[in-house]
Structure formats: C-alpha cells, structure tokens
C-alpha cells in the first residue's frame, strides 16, 4: 500500500505525464525565461494599448465546490465547511478519490425544463471573474503543470500591459453551453465596457482559446453592430473549436484519462458526458459532410446525420436531448461582426474516426483512426473561421501554424510573438 501511494504521488507529480484541460488535456508548457519584449519606436510607446480579455476553453476555468449532501458514497466527503478547489486539483483525480470528484462535478439533466443543475447538495462557483490569475493557472498552487494563459499574459506584461487593468479574464462554467449559460453574455458585456472605460475609451481585444471561440461567437451574435464597432477592436482566436471535434465522440465512448495513464477514464467519462458542452462540441453538420464516416462498426457507419442513433447506441438518451437543445447554436455560424485573427495548429495526429472493427455494439471500446488537426480539434473545425472571409466587412485573417498542438499553441513562441506584435506593435 505504501509503495502504491508513493507510486501514485510520483505519477501525479511527474510533469511530463500530466496534461490539463478537457478539450485537449495536453499540457501548456510554462516558459520560464520568456523574453518577448518587442523593440518599439517611441511614438508607438505613447499609444494606448487595446485592453485584452482572456476567454478560456473547456476546462480552462477554476471551479470551487462546497458540499452539503444528504448521501455520499463510501469514502467520499458528504459535507465541507467551506469552498474547496475541485477543478483542478490533481490529488482528487487519484483512483481512490476520483469517483467522489466525478459525482460532485457532474450535472443533472432535467428533460422537462431542459436544463442542467449541479449534483444534489453541491454548490459550485467560478472564482476570479474579471481577473486573469485563475485563467493563467488552473491550479491554485501555480504548479508549472497547471499553466494556461500565463505565457501570453507574461508576454503582454513585457510589452506594457498591466494585469487587472489591461489584462482581464473571463472564466465561466465550461460544463454548460450557451443555451443555459445566460449570465455569460451579460457579464461579458459589462466586463468589456469596464475595460474600455478604464483604458481611456480604448476598444477591447478578445483572446479566445478552443471552446472560448464558440462561446464568444455566441456572445457577439447577441450584441448590436453599433456596440461592437465602439467596444471591440478584434477577436484573436487560438485553436478555436469552431465546428466541434470527433474527440467528443471519443469522450462519450472511451472516456478521458487526461493523457495520464494513472487517471481512471470511466469516472471522468461519467462526469464529462453529463455536460451539455460536450454535446455542443460534437462534429458540426456545417463542417462535416454527410458522407464523412465518424464511426464505423461491423454492421453500419455513423455520420453527422446519425447522432440520435449514436446516443441510443451508447445508452445515453439524455445526450441526444442535450444535443437537440444546443443544435440552434451549432447551426448559427454567421460572422461575428468584428475583426478576426484566427490562429490554429495543424499536422498533429487527431482522432478522425472511431473504428469498432468486428463489433456492432457502441458500448464496446473502439480504436481511434487519426487524421489532420491540432491533436484535439480536427482541421476542418479549426479553419472554419475562413468561412467568414467575404461575409463581413471586417478583416478575417486565418493563419496556420504547423505542429502547434491544441494546448501547445499557448506556449508556442511564434504564436505568442505574432499576438504581441499585433497588440503592442501599433497595428
């Protein structure tokens, strides 16, 4: 037992085996001596910098929980007397704790109200609204393995930005989809207006990663063109998951071990499959053709037109209900009405199809077949932003960074330099 515990501690502590954030639990490397100070001419130094709001992806916000449950499984806490960090605290992912963790984080779907709520007896909050600290580091300890937006924030600080003033953060409930998270657009609007005012009426730059892309797009769809023209300078998307990803189907069928062989994938699967955001991130019918096979079994294949059968096959009828709830949001891919700088990786093996071989039972374990993408999101979803070219007056610039993976893009010096050049270089 003692040996096992030591081994466990070792595995959980080993940075190389540990990766973070659902939608690509791949690690963002913390760049220790990042020096991205750009040479500037003196007149550029005088100009007012566009304040930045960092919008994280799925798994990129911290979650605190407080428990007051009427029942809990053996070995799990029933009550806590204060909030504790449940996402992400890697100790809680140890095999002897992970079932408790999963049960506390899961959502419960009500098919009459068509809304989800927290696990009974669990109060959840998302700390740090408006500040960047909780989206720079996902773990309160600032363990290097929990680095998220920190490299980008450091690069901005080196070029005249200030945390809390011109670098802000927008953490949110990444378990939910826009149909439910009605507070997000309201809070975003006030945060943007505040950042605009305290930075001398300067239009704001939204930097979004992964699922933060679709969330922000939905927000922008709700705002008037007049408001956007006044308050938004541009949106910079990094690995935007615009059209979802086949990885979602992998999570539904196989689960997720966060690329750590020590983490049990079944409890993680139980938690993640209860979230509407996973349904929202299914491959979009706008970007996958009806003849593109997503799943092949001995008896048939499944495409974007077969999701009802897919959810039935995995015994998850609620998933189909959630999918129907989010469908209108998936189908609205009208342009955001602001300048878009859309940066994404490619040439990394990314799940393209799940192969069940000789089985026809979707509850069996499939073998992933790989194609092009950033390791998490398929290329056709990452480059979906190109569809807006010519659809809006504002610039849409899509730039591909070969080999930049889904999380690695936040530690990719070429990408960081391009972002900072755009922001600090007077463009």
Ligand X SMILES: *[C@@H]1O[C@H](CO)[C@@H](O)[C@H](O)[C@H]1NC(C)=O
Structure-block tokens of residue 215: 């969330």
Q: Is residue 316 flagged as an active site residue?
A: no
406 is catalytic: yes
Q: Cβ-closest residue to ligand X?
A: 418
Q: How far is the CB of 351 from ligand X (least distance, A)?
A: 27
Backbone angles phi, psi at 53, to 5 degrees: -115, 125
Site mask for ligand X (CB under 6 A), range 378-407, x = bound: -----------------x-x-x--------
- In the complex, the smallest distance separating the C-beta of residue 90 from ligand X, rounded to whole angstroms, is 34
Is-contact 236 208, C-beta < 8 A? yes
The smaller minimum CB distance to ligand X, of residues 109 and 184, is found at 109
Query: Which CB, 111 or 123, lies closer to ligand X?
Result: 111
Nearer to ligand X, 363 or 399 (CB): 399
Q: What would the two tokens of residue 285 be?
A: 């019918």
d(CA 258, CA 232): 35
Q: Which of 119, 146, 210, 237 is catalytic?
A: 210
The two structure tokens encoding residue 326: 């989010």
* Residue (31 or 396) nearer to ligand X, CB: 396
303 part of the interface to ligand X, by CB under 6 A: no
Look at residue 115 and give its three-state secondary structure: strand
Q: Could you give the CA distance from residue 243 to residue 331 in angstroms, rounded to a whole number?
A: 10
For residue 351, list its beta bridge partners. Answer: 370
- The length of the chain in residues reads 427
Structure tokens at 66: 């407080």
Q: What share of the chain is helix, strand, coil (3-state, %, to 5)?
A: 35, 20, 45
CB of 109 to ligand X, least distance (A): 9
HEC letters along 296-356: ECCCCEECHHHHHHHHHHCCCHHHHHHHHHHHHHHHCCCCCCCCEEEEEEECECEEEEEEC
CB of 139 vs ligand X, minimal distance in Å: 30
* R_g of the chain, CA atoms, integer Å: 21
Closer by beta carbon to ligand X, 360 or else 399:
399
Name the residue nearer to ligand X (CB basis): 244 or 336.
Answer: 336
Q: How many residues bind ligand X (CB under 6 A)?
A: 6
Q: In what order do the strands lie in the sheet with 350-355?
A: 301-302, 295-296, 350-355, 367-371
Among candidate residues 173, 181, 374, 405, the one labeled active-site is 374
Q: Which of residues 107-136 bind ligand X (CB under 6 A)?
A: 111
SS3 of residue 399 by DSSP: strand
Applying CB under 6 A, among 92, 142, 418, 426 the residue interacting with ligand X is: 418
Contact positions with ligand X (CB under 6 A) in 324-353: 341
Least distance between ligand X and beta carbon 415 (Å): 8
| Smallest separation, CB 121 to ligand X (Å) | 21
Catalytic residues: 210, 374, 406
Which residues of the chain form contacts with ligand X (CB under 6 A)? Answer: 111, 341, 395, 397, 399, 418
């Amino acid at each position: 037992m003692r040996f096992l515990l030591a081994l466990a501690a070792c595995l959980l502590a080993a940075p190389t085996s540990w990766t973070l954030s659902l939608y690509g639990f791949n690690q963002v490397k913390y760049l220790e001596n990042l020096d991205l100070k750009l040479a500037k001419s003196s007149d550029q130094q005088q100009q007012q910098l566009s304040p930045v709001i960092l919008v994280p992806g799925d798994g990129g916000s911290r979650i605190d929980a407080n428990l007051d449950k009427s029942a809990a499984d053996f070995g799990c806490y029933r009550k806590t007397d204060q909030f504790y960090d449940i996402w992400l605290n890697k100790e809680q992912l140890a095999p002897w704790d992970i079932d408790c963790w999963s049960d506390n984080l899961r959502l419960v779907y009500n098919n009459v109200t068509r809304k989800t709520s927290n696990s009974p007896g669990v109060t959840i909050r998302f700390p740090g609204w408006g500040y960047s600290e909780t989206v720079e580091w996902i773990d309160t300890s600032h363990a290097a393995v929990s680095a998220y937006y920190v490299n980008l924030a450091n690069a901005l600080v080196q070029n005249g930005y200030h945390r809390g003033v011109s670098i802000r953060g927008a953490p949110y409930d990444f378990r939910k989809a826009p149909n439910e998270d009605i507070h997000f657009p309201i809070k975003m609007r006030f945060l943007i207006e505040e950042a605009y005012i305290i930075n001398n009426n300067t239009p704001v730059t939204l930097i979004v990663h992964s699922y933060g892309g679709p969330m922000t797009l939905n927000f922008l769809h709700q705002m008037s063109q007049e408001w956007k023209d006044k308050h938004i300078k541009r949106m910079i998307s990094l690995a935007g998951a615009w059209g979802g990803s086949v990885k979602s189907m992998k999570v539904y069928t196989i689960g997720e071990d966060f690329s750590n062989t020590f983490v049990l994938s079944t409890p993680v699967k139980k938690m993640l499959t209860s979230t509407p955001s996973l349904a929202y991130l299914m491959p979009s019918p706008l970007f996958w053709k009806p003849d593109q096979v997503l799943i092949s079994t001995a008896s048939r294949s499944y495409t974007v037109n077969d999701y009802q059968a897919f959810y039935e096959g995995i015994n998850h009828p609620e998933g189909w209900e959630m999918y129907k709830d989010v469908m209108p949001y998936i189908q609205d891919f009208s342009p955001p009405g602001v300048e878009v700088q859309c940066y994404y990786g490619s040439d990394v093996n990314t799940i393209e199809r799940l192969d069940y071989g000789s089985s026809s039972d979707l509850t069996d374990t499939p073998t992933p077949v790989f194609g092009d993408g950033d390791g998490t999101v398929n290329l056709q979803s990452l480059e979906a932003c190109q569809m807006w070219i010519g659809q809006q007056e504002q610039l849409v610039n899509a730039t591909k960074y070969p080999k930049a993976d889904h999380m690695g893009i936040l530690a990719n010096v070429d990408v960081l330099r391009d972002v900072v050049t755009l922001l600090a270089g007077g463009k």
